[in-house]
Structure 1
Amino acid sequence: MKGSHMKKKLLFSALILVLLCVIFIFLGLRQNAAPAGSTASQDNKEPITATLAVCGDIMSHSPQTNDAYDAATDTYSYLPCFQSVSSWIEAADYAVANFETTLNGPPYSGYPQFCAPDALAYDLKTIGFDLVTTANNHSMDKGFQGLARTLDVLDQAGLQHVGTYRTQEAFTQNNGVIVADVGGISVAFLGYTYGTNGIAVPQDKDFSLNRFNTDYTGACATLDQEKLQQELAYAESLGTDLIAVMVHWGIEYQTTQNAYQEQVADFLISHGADLILGSHSHVPQPLETRTVTLDDGSTRSGLVCYSLGNFVSNQSPATVNVNYTDTTAILNLELTKDPATGETTVSHINYVPLLVLNRGANVQDRYIILDVNAAIAEYKAGNTTTVSDAVYQKLEYALEGCHTILGEKYDTAGSPPAGSAA
């Protein structure tokens, strides 16, 4: 019996050894197979490419608000004015703009202190926008209450926002930084305004609005270097692929940037910004790549879009006597990440020239944003349903303005977005 028991123990031990050998061999084979997500497979991955769409100022002057109203249903809709360009927004992996109004509930108002219907936020989400900056010179038009309710509505509509905050805790939680997934590429967004049209932010609500000037109710000419440096450092600590700063700056109705914008841009780039997306001028301003020399002698570069003008507004040469106030563009930035090096770059730039067409007070759907190249092609093909001779002249002028200000080489020349029926 004792010998039999010993044989059983030896046999059991042998089986255990065989089983362990099988397990080790299996694990070794799995390791050599280099499953997805392993270092070996990452070396063979293709670059990640995504599109960030950038748009200009979204406004709702009183004529726009009135046009959006449907008396039969007692509701508002801005969707008709976006119908010709929504495919470009939808085609992007991520789309951003400057939201230059408040959502403080009725009564609604236009210039100089804006308040639009909540429908504007929901309609922007419907056509594909993902994030808006709420830091601009109209942020305080309806006081802190208006600022806070605007954020409530944007949240309800599903639109991310950056630049304004309801509580100190909301700001402190991420130091004013929103991290977005742009088609597999991580981008940290920050938002700032030069000022508030002289409306002071309440002392006990200082956290509520990001300003890049310390003298934001006065000359607006003293850069808050400490704040910017601290918040950009925090953004860098997050390890995102890119850092984008949405900034409200410059001089209204000027089609070129000024020296202070360049100074601010250089400071932002030197402290980590890769993309600077500007607004406020209500007319387009140039695109450029700026390179700055750091204290250690090395250099950093960043892409600067000084302004894209009004994405939608009631402004035009006829209403404000300023050229190009109805001329704008959708800027498409192709971002590419190299998985081998981890480096992310702006690999391609193009824009879609647009005209905000005001068709007159007695026309249904008074405001329509037209894809300039597509509308010109339609006119030349003999379709004058929307594009009359007079509208064609406006389209040609808008196209000339975009080419002169933004650069003709970046024009998409009317190529529709992939998968679009436009």
Structure 2
Amino acid sequence: MDKTSKGKRLCITLTVLLATGAVSFAQFEKPIPKAVSLLPVKDTVTVTFLGDMMMHSKQLEYDCSSFIKELGSITADADISIANLEFTLAGKPYSGYPAFSAPDSYAEDLASKGVDIFLTANNHILDKGSSGLRRTLSVYDRMRDSLGIRYTGSAADEESYRKTNPLMIVCRGMRFALINFTYGTNSPRESSFPRVSRMEKENVGAMVESAKKLGADFIIALPHWGNEYQLRHSKSQEEWAQWLVSQGVDLIIGTHPHVVQDSTHIEGVPVIYSLGNAVSNMSAVNTRLELAVRASFVRDSSGALVMLEPELDFLWCTLPGRLTDNYCTIRVEDYLGRRNEWIQKDDYDNMLSTLARVKEATGIGKLKAEAIERKEE
């Protein structure tokens, strides 16, 4: 683990009280408050969110240490970095789609690159059954003790479930409640435990109420939901988002569709319906573009806590032989005007055309996309 990762994790503590050039949302009707003046670092907490971390069969042939090495400025520089780990650590034999089992080293490398919190409530977490999930959680427990990572969305037993769902994080005196849940799993549950947090109102509502009782300053919902490969959110997603807002959630950031979806706000609450893939071997249309979201939380001069307008970065997952000889996710903005560095020049063109297409369909990052187009002219 690098020094930056070590240092920022000193800011993050698990609170177990039950036992004891980025883009903003130009399409929002009502703007989230913006920073009026520069605030001291001690009064600001930044949280970064990344989408689906996949491990397809082809990826198993490559060194995973290159997958997100370009994202250090996004992960390690944030106080808290969160990602959806859409695979199990069920042990050998390793496998990709449709039943994922990745090497332990993949999760360890993500932690070394600055990812602090693993989201585990997704449709692939039971791909290898209850035994696969138990082993996955045991590895994460070991990483918690040795590397300081945290996880939420599933648990081995009742006590662990209560302590990590919601996951309470304290950083610089601010209390964050993370609520992760999934619409379902591809494999059926075999027993009550290990348990995966489900997209059921009784379960989610109980977590929201628990977060309030634990004194959360900000409640962040992280649903695994929606229709795959659709650039616009579904009616079900919207209804759930409205319900989450009515329950008191402050920020909603979704995963699962494997593409970026439109974003909006509901009664002032930012709703980012889908981040897309952070790392994968997918090549279907729109599946290689992703969003990284940076949310800043500040304590103003009066002592009040405020969430500033979220900022977005477009990312692009390059496949082997396109930009480098490995998988590598990059910030689109960092590589503008560098087409000559691509091994396959048409992949650079694909990146820009995908960005334009997704921007047109979703309305996300319209100002940033237009700036990118001007820079390319």
**Which category of TM-score, normalised to the shorter sequence, fits these structures?**
0.7 to 0.9
Residue of structure 2 equivalent to 1:308? 275
Counterpart check, 1:193 vs 2:182: yes
Asked which structure has the greater CA Rg, the reply is: 1
Distance 1:90 1:52 in 2: 11
Question: Which residues of structure 2 form unaligned runs of 5+?
Answer: 1-38, 373-377
Distance 1:164 1:359 in 2: 33
Q: How does 1:28-43 map to 2 (within 5 A)?
A: none
Distance in 1, Cα, partners of 2:126 & 2:154: 10
1:180 Cα shift?
Answer: 1.5
Q: Could you list the runs of 5+ residues in structure 1 that have no partner in the other structure?
A: 1-44, 69-77, 213-223, 292-300, 318-322, 415-422
Measured in 1, the distance between the counterparts of 2:188 and 2:344 equals 47
Residues 42-53 of structure 1 aligned to structure 2 (within 5 Å): 48-53=43-48
User: 1:128 Cα deviation (Å)?
Assistant: 0.5
Match of 2:287 in 1: 325
1:401 is displaced (CA, Å) by 4.0
Deviation at 1:364, TM superposition (A): 7.1
Mapped to 1, the partners of 2:371 and 2:297 lie a distance apart of: 20
Note if contact 1:350-1:410 (Cα within 8 Å) is conserved in structure 2: no
The answer for the alignment partner of 1:358 in structure 2 is 319
CA distance in 2, matches of 1:368, 1:237: 42
Q: What residue in structure 2 maps to residue 148 of structure 1?
A: 134
Query: Which residue number corresponds to residue 370 of structure 1?
Result: 330
Distance between the aligned counterparts of 1:127 and 1:107, measured in 2?
25
Secondary structure at 1:109 match in 2: coil
CA gap of 1:316–1:125, structure 2 versus 1, over 3 A, is same
Aligned amino acid, residue 367 of structure 1: Y
Quick check: 1:81–1:365 contact (8 Å CA) kept in 2?
no
Q: Provide the C-alpha distance between the structure 1 equivalents of 2:156 and 2:49, rounded to a whole number of angstroms.
A: 25
1-structure distance, mates of 2:370, 2:49: 14
Q: Of 347, 351, 367, which residue of structure 2 is paired with 1:409?
A: 367
Provide, for residues 136-192 of structure 1, a one-character-per-residue CA deviation record: whole Å limited to 9, x for no partner.
001110111111211221232332110100111211345x11111345532111110
User: Which of residues 349, 353, 356 in structure 2 aligns to 1:400?
Assistant: 356
- Picking from 52, 60, 69, the partner of 1:65 is 60
Question: Following the alignment from structure 2 to structure 1, what is the Cα–Cα distance between the partners of residues 84 and 127?
Answer: 15
Give the whole-Å Cα distance in 2 for the aligned partners of 1:137 and 1:202.
15
Q: Distance in 2 between matches of 1:374 and 1:413?
A: 13
**What TM-score comes out, normalization by structure 1 length?**
0.72
Partner in structure 2 of residue 168 of structure 1: 158
- The letter of the residue matching 1:49 is T
What SS is found at the alignment partner of 1:85? helix
Q: What is the Cα deviation at residue 388 of structure 1?
A: 4.5
Q: Any idea what SS the aligned residue of 1:201 has?
A: coil
Structure 1 residues 402 and 350 mapped into 2: Cα distance closer, same or farther (>3 Å)?
farther
1:208 Cα deviation from its structure 2 partner: 0.9
Aligned length: 327
Deviation of residue 336 (structure 1)? Answer: 2.0
Aligned equivalents of 1:182 and 1:255: distance in 2?
Answer: 34
Distance 1:57 1:264, change over 3 A: same
1:122 aligns with 2:78: no
- For 1:398, the aligned partner's letter is T
1:20 matched residue in structure 2: none
RMSD: 2.3
1-structure distance, mates of 2:97, 2:326: 19
Q: Secondary structure at the match of 2:197?
A: coil
* Alpha-carbon distance in structure 1 between the residues aligned to 2:110 and 2:65: 8
SS at match of 1:276: strand
Show the 5 A alignment for 1:97-246: 97-157=83-143, 158=147, 159-173=149-163, 176-182=165-171, 184-197=173-186, 199-205=187-193, 208-212=195-199, 224-246=200-222
User: Kindly tell me: are residues 88 and 270 of structure 1, through their superposed partners in 2, closer, same or farther at Cα, counting changes over 3 Å?
Assistant: same
1:228 Cα offset (Å): 2.0
1:391 counterpart = 2:353: no
Which of residues 68, 73, 82 is equivalent to 2:68? 82
Q: Distance in 2 between matches of 1:344 and 1:201?
A: 40
Pick one of 234, 237, 240 that aligns with 1:261: 237
CA distance in 2, matches of 1:326, 1:364: 15
Structure 2: distance between partners of 1:387 and 1:409: 29
Partner Cα distance (2:288, 2:330) in 1: 10
Q: Quick check: 1:57–1:280 contact (8 Å CA) kept in 2?
A: yes
Secondary structure of the equivalent of 2:274? strand
Any conservation in 2 of the 1:375–1:387 contact (CA below 8 Å)?
no
CA distance in 1, matches of 2:43, 2:358: 30
CA distance in 2, matches of 1:203, 1:150: 16
Whether 2:252 is the aligned partner of 1:276: answer yes
Tell me the amino acid that sits aligned with residue 155 of structure 2: Y
The CA deviation at 1:117 is 0.4
Normalised TM-score (structure 2): 0.81
Aligned partners of 2:82, 2:89: CA distance in 1, in Å? 18
Say which SS state the counterpart of residue 96 (structure 2) adopts.
Answer: coil
Moved more, 255-264 or 176-185: 176-185
Q: Which residue of 1 aligns with 2:305?
A: 343
Identical counterparts, % of pairs: 32
2:32 corresponds to which residue? none
Greater shift in the superposed pair: 85-94 or 352-361: 352-361
Flag the structure with more relative contact order, 1 or 2, with Cα contacts below 8 A and sequence separation at least 6. 2
Task: Answer whether contact 2:197 2:203 (CA < 8 A) is retained.
Answer: no
2:294 aligns to what SS in structure 1? strand
